[in-house]
Amino acid sequence: MEWLWTIAELLVLVALILTLGLPLAVIIVAFRRRCSHISADDAHPIFEDPNSLKQVPSPSIFDPAEKYISLIIPAYNEEHRLPGALSETMNYLQQRAAKDKSFSYEVVIVDDGSVDGTKRVAFGFVRRYTIENVRVILLGRNHGKGEAIRRGMLHSRGELLLMLDADGATKINDLEKLENQIRREAKNELKLRDGVDSGSVSRISDIPIVAFGSRAHLEEKALATRKWYRNFLMKGFHAVVLLTAGRGIRDTQCGFKMFTRAAARKLFSNIRLKRWCFDVELVYLCKHFGIRMIEISVNWSEIPGSKVNPLSIPNMLWELCLVSIGYRTYMWKIST
């Protein structure tokens, strides 16, 4: 019987370590990340034209906009999925620019430390469409989707900024749904603010608004077709999100979101999470700043090759704990 007591004592010891150690670890990591949104890695990236080998100036989100819309695409080991999605995107943008001479755009591909041919594929599009329309940011090592999008946002030139996944799961022309709703909301805000109907795009971009693409209308079908662990992950994640950021957005994780320049400036100069749960932090920050949030249904299809797997669950829970501790203890200061 003595060995049973030994096992019981070990189990109690492990339980105590987990009970005391995990909260302490969360507090320590949250404290270390209090200034991670202004790290030394944020030095302006160097954009080089692969055709002329000349460097071009690196923009900042705090500069005046130079384009109507920027599309930010995070890419990690996406040499196989990126070409098809990016070709479809460029075709759409070129067709729209041909119809509307005032429509200007850029695509910013953020290579998040890929070890395959993603960099080669991305620069192939720069050569084809010129550095004025397609740019690549190389992060060197893998940081996570949230950090890749943050870097892309901070160095984009658009009045409107759209983040979208490299797999093309959402049809690119759905950006018009988000764009049109943002414009309607901004015009209403301008009427209330100024008492006049202003259609100026530059003024609209100064109204902080975020449009969240949503797959919530597809939930019932998704439950029937998606792998069991992704359903489990989704349901559990939604429950924890409610506890962390509260109500407001049903589908925080859809990778199709549009920001006015004013909103992106506030949000991405503060965001700290680097991987899967940065979307939840965006919701939290939107509520803090009083930024208008809109949720809009988009067409979406599941593309093979997703980076989400059962091992993502602990990382997601970890990041949600960091958000709660970081902001609620005021370790994470929010700059205005």
Instruction: Please report, for the domain that includes residue 77, its CATH number.
Output: 3.90.550.10
Number of domain units in the chain: 1
Whether residue 41 is contained in a domain is answered as: yes
pLDDT at 56 over 80: yes
Range of the domain at 167: 33-328
Whether residue 249 is contained in a domain is answered as: yes
CB of 275 within 8 A of CB of 145? yes
Spatial distance between the Cα atoms of 228 and 225, rounded to a whole number of angstroms: 9
Whether residue 7 is contained in a domain is answered as: no
- Residue 213 β-bridge partners: 296
Spatial distance between the Cα atoms of 121 and 123, rounded to a whole number of angstroms: 6
Whether residue 8 is contained in a domain is answered as: no
Whether residue 39 is contained in a domain is answered as: yes
Whether residue 12 is contained in a domain is answered as: no
Q: pLDDT-based confidence at 251, cuts 50/70/90?
A: confident
**Tens of pLDDT, residues 103-157:** 999 999 999 999 999 999 999 999 999 999 999 999 989 999 999 999 999 999 9
* Phi and psi torsions of 306, nearest 5°: -60, 145
| Cα angle value 42/45/47 (rounded, 5°) | 170
Q: What is the mean pLDDT of the chain?
A: 82
Q: pLDDT-based confidence at 224, cuts 50/70/90?
A: very low
Whether residue 10 is contained in a domain is answered as: no
DSSP 5-57: HHHHHHHHHHHHHHHHHHHHHHHHHHHHTTTGGG-GGGSPPPEE-TTT--EEP
Query: Which one-letter DSSP state was computed for residue 150?
Result: H
Whether residue 106 is contained in a domain is answered as: yes
pLDDT the model gives residue 254: 86
pLDDT at 239 over 60: yes
